[in-house]
Amino acid sequence: MTEAVVEERSASRGEPPVKSTRQLVNLALLYASKSGAVVVGLLILPLFNKWLGPEQFGVVALIFSLQAFLIVLDFGMSTIVGRDLAVANTSLNHQFVTWRAAEVAISAGYALLLLPAFIGGMLVKGPLSPTATMLCVGLFWALTLQNIGQSALLAKQHYVAAATIQVFGVLARNGLSAAALFWIAPTLTCFVSVQASVAITQMLVTRWQCNRVLIGSAHQLDVPELKARVRHLAKLGQPLMMFGLAGAAVMQLDKVIVSALMSPRELAPYFLAMTLCLTPLSVLASPIAQFFQPKLVQAISADDAARTRRTLLRFVQGLTIFALVPTAAIWLFRDSIITLWLHGSGDVATVSSYSEVLLPGIALGALGYIPFIMLTSRQDYHFQARYSVALTVITLLATCIAARFHSLMAICLIYACYHSASTIGSWYRSTRLDPLLGRCAGTSARHALVAVLFVFGMTYGLSNING
């Protein structure tokens, strides 16, 4: 019996929800799982830069960028696995086959990359040796499978295992890489070797844990069924791949456009402002979404209107407390925060002015996790793909125009509108899918609107008082 079912039965008897302490611990662990990336960014990346030198560190930065890009472009496997394993009325065997089929589909894709990577490494005299190039493919493959396994554990609400593996994996991968660069050799081959080895180990630990969670079905794996499921997932994942590609493009190509049409010097404060302002999405809102996704998918897939409304209300409350309010605080004290962060850099005033425009829009974007999960629960992947592609094209074209006029402030406004439009459009779509979800989506939208108006109103009032 899942925690969600126990909680609902307890609530129906008029008792307080059980295991509330465990729920808080689970949420805290999801936030802790983000700490590994924060430690790497603040403490370990400067060591990589110091020991590898600017040229080799530039290659490391490219490897990290490709890593993030390819994890997003997983043919939608992590989204599909997360959705299917969270649905309560599917059998363990079906869930197991879905997870394994996703692994097979991804592994087949990376297997096709091995030969081109080897030939490219032999023919192109770049900073990476053929061996290091092959190891990069292994690294990307392992991290993509790790992300799918992570989605599986979160969907089954095994938050402790998922968070623990994630934080230790990130710290071990980068901490051991730093140790190897210092004690063995400050080379790219050494760096990639350690990264790939630890990533594969982390992936295997995650697979072992997934097998434990889905125990009782592993011995029932049927090869013809697995092949059929791989083909089904590949077809189902096509719109999600477009969704991921559009999202990756809109979040990365703005820097390329600014650098090409303006200058790298003008890019620097914009990059810093965007990095700071995306914190509500990447660090504050993401763990809340991971916590509520399986609960919301279960409620919607069971067509349980009461539980869906209750879960959506808690979801809105969670994002308000853990994302909107901290974002409002960042906006209110942005000058002091940015001054402390940049240690009195000459770009402080510029970064602050860009952040003033970006933060409200990105705060609304953090609420976009709610309609995203609602649409995912109904497998409305084609709308998500079409809407994401349309928004991406419009946003990047507008960014090009603004860059031609050398207006970074206009680009900040464009991206604030992009995040807001993404949330509002997806929420509207959720109200139109079917009567049950429509009513619940409408109710949650009204609660979210009240929360946004209250937080934004209080923030604006406090800013006038401080001013």
What pLDDT is recorded for position 113?
A: 82
Q: Considering only 140-149, 187-196, 333-342, which range has the smallest mean pLDDT? A: 333-342
Nearest-angstrom CA–CA distance, 162 and 153 = 6
Give the per-residue pLDDT at 18.
Answer: 46
pLDDT at 22 over 90: no
Tokens of 165: 């593996």
Q: Give 255 or 181, the one with higher predicted confidence.
A: 181
Least confident span in 9-23, 89-103, 121-135, 386-400: 9-23
The pLDDT of residue 24: 76
Angle between helices 369-377 and 305-319 (to 10 degrees): 150
More confident of the two residues 88 and 168 = 168
Q: Sorting pLDDT into bands at 50, 70 and 90, what band is 367? A: very high
pLDDT of residue 346: 76
- What would the pLDDT profile of 196-218 be if each residue is shown by its tens digit? 999 999 999 999 999 888 875 44
Of residues 230 and 452, which shows the higher confidence score? Answer: 452
pLDDT of residue 380: 92
Q: Note the pLDDT of residue 46.
A: 72
Q: Which of 40, 38, 33 is nearest to 175 (CA)?
A: 40
Collapsing DSSP to helix, strand or coil, 157 comes out as: coil
**C-alpha separations of 439 from 306, 317, 320 in Å:** 11, 18, 21
Per the model's pLDDT, the better-predicted residue between 27 and 106 turns out to be 106
Mean of the per-residue pLDDT values of the chain:
84
**Tokens linked to 74:** 């997983």
CA dist list (Å): 20 to 17, 25, 33, 431: 6, 9, 20, 30
Specify the pLDDT at position 148. 94
Given this model, what pLDDT does residue 272 score?
82
- Sign, CA dihedral 360-459-316-77, equals positive
Higher per-residue confidence, 160 vs 13? 160
Q: Kindly state the average pLDDT of the residues 178-185.
A: 91
How far apart are the two ends of the chain, measured CA to CA in Å?
Answer: 54
Residue 33: pLDDT above 60?
yes
- What are the two backbone dihedrals, phi and then psi, of residue 291, each rounded to the nearest 5 degrees? -70, -40
Percent of the chain at pLDDT exceeding 90 = 40
**Residue 20: pLDDT over 80:** no
The answer to whether 36 and 202 are in contact (CB under 8 A) is: no
At 421 the pLDDT is 96
Q: So what's the pLDDT on residue 196?
A: 95
How large a percentage of the chain has pLDDT more than 70? 90
Query: Which of these, 330, 328, 300, 302, lies nearest to 315 by C-alpha position?
Result: 300
Confidence at residue 56, expressed as pLDDT on a 0 to 100 scale? 80
CA separation for the pair 364, 423 (Å, rounded):
7
pLDDT tens sequence across 223-280: 777 788 888 888 877 888 888 888 888 887 888 888 788 877 777 788 888 888 887 7
Per-residue confidence band for 19, with pLDDT thresholds at 50, 70 and 90: low
Q: How far apart are CA 369 and CA 247, in angstroms?
A: 14
- pLDDT range class, residue 430, cuts 50, 70, 90: very high
| pLDDT tens column, 44-76 | 777 777 788 767 877 787 788 778 778 877 878
- Reply yes or no on whether the pLDDT at 429 is more than 90: yes
At 307 the pLDDT is 93
In one letter, which amino acid is 75? F
Does residue 2 have a pLDDT over 60?
no
For the segment 341-345, the average pLDDT, to the nearest whole number, is: 72
Burial of 466 (0-12, 13-18, 19+ CB in 10 A): exposed
Q: In whole angstroms, what is the distance from residue 463 CA to residue 467 CA?
A: 6
pLDDT digits (tens, 9 = 90+) for 213-237: 887 544 556 677 778 888 888 887 7
